[in-house]
Amino acid sequence: MAKIFRMPEVAANATHAVLQSWTKREGDSVTQGDCIAEIETDKAMVEVNVDIDGILARVLAKDGQEIAVGAPIAVVVAAGESTDIDALLAGSAVHNTAGVDASTPSGSPAGDSPSNVEATPLRLADEGAAASSDLHPTVRVFASPLAKRIARERGVDLGSVKGSGPNGRIVKRDIGAVVERQQDVSLTPTAPTGGAQPELQKVDFTEIPHTGMRRAIARRLSESKSSVPHFYLSADCRVDKLIGLRSEVNDSATTKVSINDFVVKAVAVALKQIPEMNVTWTDAALRRYSRADISVAVSTDTGLFTPVVRGADSKSLSAISSEIAELATRARAGRLRQEELEGGSFSVSNLGMFGTEEFAAIINPPQSAILAVGAAIARPIIEAGKVEAATVMRCTLSVDHRAIDGALAARWLKLFVQLVENPLSMLI
């Protein structure tokens, strides 16, 4: 039995998603549970898994292509089955309005391309492109969804673009060519037309288009900072004992632990001992969690990920260290699963490795708190009336005042400092 696989709704209210790459090719055998493609969301890579055994008979999109949610992306048929795939697709109502780029997919013969996919017509007036009166709102042009989006972002008039896709359809490369020509023109110096004119300084720059992830980060953090009433508490932790214990552990353990591993463990233990801090805000009620699931900020070339260490309060230090290292490695490779990024109740962001002594982080909604950890710096302190040298790490707690009051946050931060300064207590 043949089955059409469609672009899933990988994020709430998403209308399109990017098919990052195919892990199977046309003609490959597949079994139930196999991943045939990877889809890029604003947070991670999501796998498309088949639920039947058979042959991947047709792929309907190319690597890196933006596809409408619900549009067909592949057809799987049973081994030995003879199926008229074109007729199968023609009977799909969604297929006729999917907006799939009709360019022939890599590895598919031109005759097998889903040529009956009708491109969604774009009215310039509807898309906001008719900004001036010399454009005709009744002109219809055909363009892929990705080309439309890039054209809107770069201010390109689709009516003036000649498409190179099937039947003159405008695709991504056509918009890119127009943008390059515009940049070349803008950088070409103009000849003086009259008397001596002051020489204008040429500003050299490169525009880097926003990725879906960067847009999502910007949106979420802007909403957090503007809608969540933040307040901040800072405290210094003396970490000499912690550094000493870390050295002892690393001398004998196969898994090397970091200061950040101790911090995550201390945060989890403190949340367990003061459960009123382990909450998130909703309009109806506070949600208090019985388990400390800690989101750990990981910086990558494509953006900031916050994979979750679940049940950190009940895990050993070496287990936390191994899990954070494995999650960070897959985050930088873009291989995190969606479920590994969701459900944390508290976040930790550590910039100490970059030499940053102090900073305040923005809360990651719907969480109610995030701990910003600075570098461990040698500085003089007064202990028992005497000046001593100590290694001090400053931590700043950002808190949602709707869910957590100042006194509660201060009590939690005091306990966290005690755990860090007496690290054995968090391991017992």
Catalytic (active-site) positions: 401
Fill in the amino acid letter for 413: L
Integer Cα distance of 272 and 279 in angstroms: 11
CB 296 within 8 A of CB 348: yes
Going by C-alpha positions, the residue among 394, 391, 358, 371 that lies closest to residue 245 is 391
The crossing angle, in degrees rounded to 10, of helices 406-421 and 259-273 is: 130
Going by C-alpha positions, the residue among 345, 359, 346, 364 that lies closest to residue 393 is 359
Residue 357, number of CB atoms within 10 A of its CB: 14
CB 43 within 8 A of CB 303: no
Fill in the amino acid letter for 91: G
Angle (CA) 112 117 122, round 5°: 145
CB 142 within 8 A of CB 93: no
Integer Cα distance of 420 and 415 in angstroms: 9
Residue 123, number of CB atoms within 10 A of its CB: 13
In the chain, the largest separation of any two C-alpha atoms, in whole Å, equals: 88
Give kind and range of the element (H or E) at residue 297. Answer: none
